[in-house]
């Protein structure tokens, strides 16, 4: 028991001193609070349109950086259950993960602790999302994905990805 408590204390210290500069994210990791998901605007203290420097000050160094054509860059924060997408160095999207692999996602993430004002978080299923938000603007299925997935996209800047066979959410995103 002492070893477990010591490891938890060290992990907490590492999170709060390793670049999780903003207390909001550290508190969420410690289970003290939830982080608000704001469709079309942002997540927690991240606001769409922010520059990379401001995001780094809030979240710290990313666990991985992936670059794609036309100025798209993804930073991943597996310990926060989040990845962020930049277009031309400006925050374009925030992805919040459930910890379940699916679609094209191959990384392992801690489950994201936040939710929308309607109470929809990463552990909601497709039925719960439809009850909260109604009919999506688009519904796409991709049976060719490594783990076939279904995407629901809403016009207010909110989307969801589910494992097609189990209806479990892989991630939700704000853009």
Number of domains in the chain: 1
In this prediction, residue 106 carries a pLDDT of: 84
In this prediction, residue 25 carries a pLDDT of: 61
Q: How far apart are CA 172 and CA 128, in angstroms?
A: 13
Strand 46-47: give its sheet, edge to edge. Answer: 37-38, 42-43, 46-47
Domain span at 49: 2-174
In this prediction, residue 17 carries a pLDDT of: 35
In this prediction, residue 33 carries a pLDDT of: 62
∠ CA(158), CA(117), CA(108), 5° rounding?
Answer: 55
Q: How many CB atoms lie within 10 A of CB 170?
A: 25
Is 12:30 a contact under the CB 8 Å cutoff? yes
Residue in 153, 146, 150 with CA at minimum distance from that of residue 161: 150
Report the chain (175 residues): mean pLDDT per 10 consecutive residues: 36 40 52 82 96 95 92 95 96 97 92 94 96 97 94 97 96 98
Q: How far apart are CA 43 and CA 65, in angstroms?
A: 19
Q: How far apart are CA 12 and CA 66, in angstroms?
A: 27
Residue in 169, 163, 172 with CA at minimum distance from that of residue 123: 169
């Amino acid at each position: 028991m002492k070893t477990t408590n010591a490891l938890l204390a060290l992990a907490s210290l590492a999170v709060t001193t390793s670049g999780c500069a903003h207390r909001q994210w550290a508190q969420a990791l410690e289970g003290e609070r939830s982080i608000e998901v704001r469709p079309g605007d942002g997540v927690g203290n991240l606001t769409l349109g922010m520059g990379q420097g401001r995001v780094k000050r809030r979240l710290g160094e990313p666990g991985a950086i992936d670059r794609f054509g036309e100025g798209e860059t993804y930073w991943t924060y597996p310990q926060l259950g989040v990845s962020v997408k930049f277009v031309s160095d400006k925050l374009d999207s925030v992805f919040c993960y459930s910890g379940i692999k699916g679609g094209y996602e191959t990384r392992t993430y801690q489950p994201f602790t936040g939710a929308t004002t309607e109470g929809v978080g990463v552990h909601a299923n497709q039925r719960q999302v439809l009850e909260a938000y109604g009919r999506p603007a688009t519904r796409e299925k991709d049976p060719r994905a490594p783990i076939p997935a279904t995407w629901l996209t809403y016009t207010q800047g909110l989307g969801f990805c589910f494992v097609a066979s189990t209806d479990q959410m892989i991630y939700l995103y704000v853009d």
